[in-house]
Amino acid sequence: YNGSYRVPVLLFRGHSIDGKPLEWEDIEKDFSSYTHQLLKESKWTFLTQEEHPYLNQPWYSLHPCGTSGWMGFL
């Protein structure tokens, strides 16, 4: 939970079939063309990489300033 924005925090990460963590370029390949355009315009406003609060490992997260808007699409 992000207290500043008052929204849940969505953390995620992916792994390749051989167990290696996915790099940003690997994750980006799965986005739609519309999302690619958004990322080009403002890459780190949409997604950011941060340390997991309990596991102390790098995870990607949907930036909390956009959570409310993006969750509205679901």
Which among 11, 1, 4 is positioned nearest to 50, based on CA atoms? 11
pLDDT of residue 31: 81
pLDDT at 51: 92
| Regions in the chain scoring below 70 on pLDDT | 42-45, 72-74
Report pLDDT for 73: 62
The residues that are catalytic are: 65
Say what the pTM is.
Answer: 0.68
